[in-house]
Every structure is written in structure tokens, then in C-alpha cells.
Amino acid sequence: MMRALLFAASLLISTAPAFADEQYKTTIVAIAGSPVQVNACEAWVRDWNKTVLTAHAVMPKALFDTGVDFTNKAARKLKDVQFGFTAYDAFGSVVSSIKLAVSQDSLADKLSKDPGAVIDLMGPKGWHGKNSHTAKDHVVCSVEKVTFDDGSVWVTPSPAPTVSPN
């Protein structure tokens, strides 16, 4: 009898839906001439778990988290850096794109942005938001804009227009 109960319990556990975080493959786009070097970036989805009154609710893959680790290669202090994160599906189509600035991070004011400084906004120090597109397969990240302490700005150059055949 005890074996039958243990077997039934193990069946229930193994057939229950499993919720877990999922990290996406990320690619860094190096921008020539950028005063900021991206050392690493990350993107993942995680479940939303909340106990409301007496019930525990779980929404799988409800939250989208991103992070970046970068180095100030400029000879000047940085005031802010904006990064672009573009998510693609398995077929290479864009499913979402966001721009996030260091100033949008709650820990940014405690970080040094001096020349040569490495700024780590990965993991729990990164950005957290709602996952509006569940079809993500991989994410590309890049530097979009750099604002220096003196107010001057460096912007990622636009790609040269492509010539269409006549």
C-alpha cells in the first residue's frame, strides 16, 4: 500500500507543470568609435510568483529582465549611457526592442562612471519589466547613446543607406 502511494505521489510531481527562469542567448554589437565598451549583456524571462490572501499565483515567463556590464573607455566622466536591447524570434524576426539608460536604474547613482570604470548592471542590479512578447529566442544589445559630464553627447552612427537596384 505504501509503495502504491509513493508511486502515485511521484507521478503527480513529475506531471505537474514546471516553471523556471529562461536565459536567452545574447549577442553584443560592437560599435566602432564608441566611448563605452559592452563587456557582457544578459536577458532572461522569469516567472511571476505571488501569494494573494491564501492562494499562490504563478504566471510563467511574465517578467523580462536585462542587464549589462560595460567599461568607460573615454577620457571623460560619463553622466549617462543608453543601451538598446532587441529581441528576435527563432526565425530572425524582431519581436521587441527597448532602450534603457543607466539613469533608469535605481542603483546607477551609486556607481562610479569615471574614465576606465567598469559598471556592472547584471543580475539583480539590472532592469526588470513585464514580458510582453513570449516568442523571444535571442537578444542583441548595443550602446545607443553616451552623455558625458560636460553635457556633450555621442550617438551611435546610423548605418549608411543601402542602394536599391533600379
Q: Is residue 105 part of a domain?
A: yes
In a domain? residue 163: no
Per-residue pLDDT of the chain (166 residues; tens, 9 = 90+): 444 433 344 433 334 444 457 888 999 999 999 999 999 999 988 877 766 666 666 777 778 899 999 999 999 999 999 999 999 999 999 998 999 999 888 777 767 789 999 999 998 888 888 888 778 899 999 999 999 999 999 999 876 554 445 4
Q: Tell me which residue of 101, 83, 91 sits closest to 140, measured CA to CA.
A: 83
Report the pLDDT value the prediction gives residue 33, as an integer from 0 to 100.
Answer: 93
Number of domains within the chain: 1
Does residue 103 form part of some domain? yes
Domain encompassing residue 78: 19-154
d(CA 87, CA 111): 27
Structural domain contains residue 162: no
DSSP H helices, the chain, are 2-15
Give strand ranges (E) for 53-151: 55-72, 78-88, 94-101, 118-121, 127-130, 138-148
Q: Can you give the pTM of this predicted structure?
A: 0.76
Distance CA 121, CA 38 (A): 11
H or E element, residue 22: strand 22-23
17 within 8 A of 59, measured Cβ to Cβ: no
Alpha helices in 2-54 (DSSP H): 2-15
